[in-house]
Amino acid sequence: MRSRLILWVLAIALLVALPPVMTAIGQTFYIDLVRRIMILAIAAVSLNLILGYGGLVSFGHAAYLGIGAYSVGILAFYGFTNGWLQWAVAIGASALVALAIGAVSIRTSGVYFIMITLAFTQMLYYLGISLEEFGGDDGMRLKAKSQFAGLIDLREPITFYYLALVLMLASVYLVYRIVNSRFGVVLRAAKSNEARTRAIGFPPYPYRLAAFVMAGAMCGLAGALYANHTNYIVPGLMSWQHSGDLMFMVILGGMASTAGPVLGAFAFIFTEEFLKVLLNWVAPIFGKRDWAEYWAILMGPVLVLSVIFFRRGLAGIFYKPDA
């Protein structure tokens, strides 16, 4: 417990120290990169609640990232730039959609659940493409970043960075509190043995659905942040690849562990960036200039190998996840 606390303090100190250090050495690219990772980490943390603790293999979590982002984008499009309103709508809309998708899909289990969550997210992806008014396939520009009247200015990259950091830590803490509450114990019990959980008087369905909605709402917030981060909202946010990326972040970090998804988000994006650098470094040897765009040809096998040989994830290195 003590060593875990030290690790947390060290990691947070590192993240707090990053912007001034990077500004000093003129590498502001990394502030942007880590901010994006932290926003995706919020999404991964929320997915861990249902995937890791609830055992619900949702292959459609990117849907809420998209709904959160589109909520902000569409409100800004119609001139509503108040951040409180935008983010509340992003969270509320994501929760509602999660309620609708969850209500149908949680009735099923196993492969069905995987395929259904994937299919519904694909439906939303096509919906995004067919919204001509909001850019269709090409997506839409965010007219103005969310406004928090004098309180927080998201146009300041470093302010935004610290906001993302705070929200990421808050989401980690929130999920930690949820899974250690009475509610969370039922959720985890239903994962480890559904029949027994039912037998002692807890039908899993409402608990799972509630967790599904909470995870969707949290991911909606991540989507609202993401829209502000990229200033651009595309249907591709809801693509199945994105859902797969989020799942990998949870798995690489370590399922059902408090810090796992955050570690996983960093590991996933850093691996991606590392492969791009590696390819660009190798390319001149073969007389080519730019190979970075082909990073996925290495990422694919890396991911396959990580599933086969690295089952416990990064968090497993530091401590044993709950059995």
Partner 1 sequence: MSWILVFEQLLNGVQLGVTLFLMAAGLTLVLGIMNLVNLAHGSLYMVGAYLTLAATQWTGNYFAGVALGLLGALVIGMLVEVITLRALYERDHLDQVLATFGLILFFNELVAILWGRASLYAQLPEWLRGHVELFAGSTYPVYRLSVIIVGLIVAVVLWYVVTRTRLGMLIRAGATNRTMVAALGVNIRLLYTVVFGFGAALAGLAGVMAGPIYSVQPGMGELILIQVFVVIVIGGIGSVRGALVGALIVGVVDTLGRAFLKPALSTMISPTAGEAAGPALASMLIYLLMAVVLALRPAGLFPARG
Return all residues near 263 (Cβ < 8 A) that are at least 6 apart: 252, 253, 254, 313, 314, 315
Binding site for partner 1 (CB under 8 A): 51, 57, 59, 104-105, 107-108, 110-112, 114-116, 118-120, 122-123, 126-127, 129-131, 133, 240-241, 244, 247-248, 251, 294, 296-297, 299-304, 307-308, 311
Q: Which is nearer to partner 1, 19 or 60 (CB)?
A: 60
Provide the minimum distance between the beta carbon of 287 and partner 1 in the complex, in angstroms, as a whole number: 15
Cα dihedral across residues 211, 67, 142, 267: positive or negative? positive
Provide the minimum distance between the beta carbon of 260 and partner 1 in the complex, in angstroms, as a whole number: 14
Q: Which is nearer to partner 1, 72 or 114 (CB)?
A: 114
Q: Which is nearer to partner 1, 229 or 242 (CB)?
A: 242
Q: Which is nearer to partner 1, 124 or 164 (CB)?
A: 124
Provide the minimum distance between the beta carbon of 59 and partner 1 in the complex, in angstroms, as a whole number: 6
* Token code pair at residue 221: 């917030």
Amino acid occupying residue 229: H
Give the angle 281-285-290 at the CA atoms, nearest 5°. 50
Provide the minimum distance between the beta carbon of 184 and partner 1 in the complex, in angstroms, as a whole number: 20
Burial class for 200, CB neighbours closer than 10 Å (0-12, 13-18, 19+): exposed
Q: Which is nearer to partner 1, 68 or 235 (CB)?
A: 235
Provide the minimum distance between the beta carbon of 286 and partner 1 in the complex, in angstroms, as a whole number: 12
Alpha carbon separation from 36 to 40, 41, 79, 242 (Å, rounded): 6, 8, 26, 14
Half-sphere exposure of 110 (CA within 13 A, CB side): 2
Q: How far apart are CA 75 and CA 63, in angstroms?
A: 18
